[in-house]
Amino acid sequence: MCPIIFSYGDFQISGYWFMTVLGLLAVFIYLNAANSRLEENHRLSLYHIISLFANCIISILAGGTLMGFLVNLPGIIENWTYYSAHPGMILEVAFSSLVFYGGALMLILLQWLYTRHYELDGQTVIELFVPATPLFMSIARIGCFLGGCCYGVEVSWGVVFPEGSLAPAGVPLFPSQLVEAAGHLLLFLLLLAVKNRLRKKSDLLFLYMGAYAALRFVLEFFRGDEARGIWFGLSTSQWISLALLLVVVIHALKSISAFQVIQR
């Protein structure tokens, strides 16, 4: 655990943002390497790679912040007297509570709009960028661990965060950040293993959505941070996970029906 990984005078680099930038760098390297291995007529130009990569950064910040704001909205309304006197704190709360699902959903939207506008091969975009997502998260979640955010529930055998972390200090906590990082790494390897075996590259997106939704739904029971929004006993991310699982099941049923028609 290392909330501040480098400091020089008043200048500081947190472990969270260091790993986030490292994750983005890894994604950019992966995208160029994976793009170069495609057949020449399917490769994206460097311009489109950079533009779609920029969409990733915009999505992480804008979508994650927006979802963070919505999750914290009940608390903001409850303490409106304070926030109305300090409006800048509203943005600070939202920005410090980046929600992965918010960034992921905005990423899908922006990539779809960009692909449609420039008439790119959507299957190629999916093949390149879907595996890049768990690659990024496998590194970024280590940043969450270094900073102490997204911490787990108190257990008898867990990790103990020091003073200065966002997590409660001095008590053993379930290492939810490391478990999710490991889960994302396994998903990245799984997607690499099956991407050339699927009938349609779009199935890659549904495979990732379903696998991650299942992982996140279970993992949320072991999260101990309060800024997650609890509705009818489930967190905001669990409700989104259930919605995504429903979408994946519907897609799978349609694919099975279409395959049976073809077989006939």
Per residue in 202-259, pLDDT tens?
A: 889 999 999 999 999 999 999 988 767 777 888 888 999 999 999 999 988 877 654 4
Q: Does position 82 have pLDDT exceeding 90, yes or no? A: no
pLDDT (0 to 100) of residue 259 = 45
Q: Does position 261 have pLDDT exceeding 60, yes or no? A: no
- Angle in degrees, 0-180, between the axes of helices 100-117 and 236-263, rounded to the nearest 10: 40
pLDDT (0 to 100) of residue 166 = 82
Q: Does position 263 have pLDDT exceeding 60, yes or no? A: no
80 confidence band (pLDDT: 50, 70, 90): confident
pLDDT (0 to 100) of residue 224 = 87
| Distances 51 to 58, 116, 181, 184 between C-alpha atoms, Å | 10, 14, 26, 24
Mean residue pLDDT of the chain comes to 87
Q: Does position 35 have pLDDT exceeding 90, yes or no? A: yes
117 confidence band (pLDDT: 50, 70, 90): very high
Percent of the chain whose pLDDT exceeds 90: 50
pLDDT (0 to 100) of residue 257 = 58
Q: Which of 20, 19, 94 is nearest to 56 (CA)?
A: 20
Distance between CA atoms of residues 67 and 191, nearest Å:
27
pLDDT (0 to 100) of residue 1 = 61
Q: Does position 98 have pLDDT exceeding 80, yes or no? A: no
Percent of the chain whose pLDDT exceeds 70: 93
Distance between CA atoms of residues 258 and 176, nearest Å:
39
12 confidence band (pLDDT: 50, 70, 90): confident
Average pLDDT over residues 143-149: 88
Contact 175, 155 (CB under 8 A): no
User: CB-based burial of residue 252 (10 Å sphere; 0-12 exposed, 13-18 middle, 19+ buried)?
Assistant: middle
Average pLDDT over residues 2-24: 79
Give the highest mean pLDDT range of 22-36, 92-106, 151-165, 226-240: 22-36
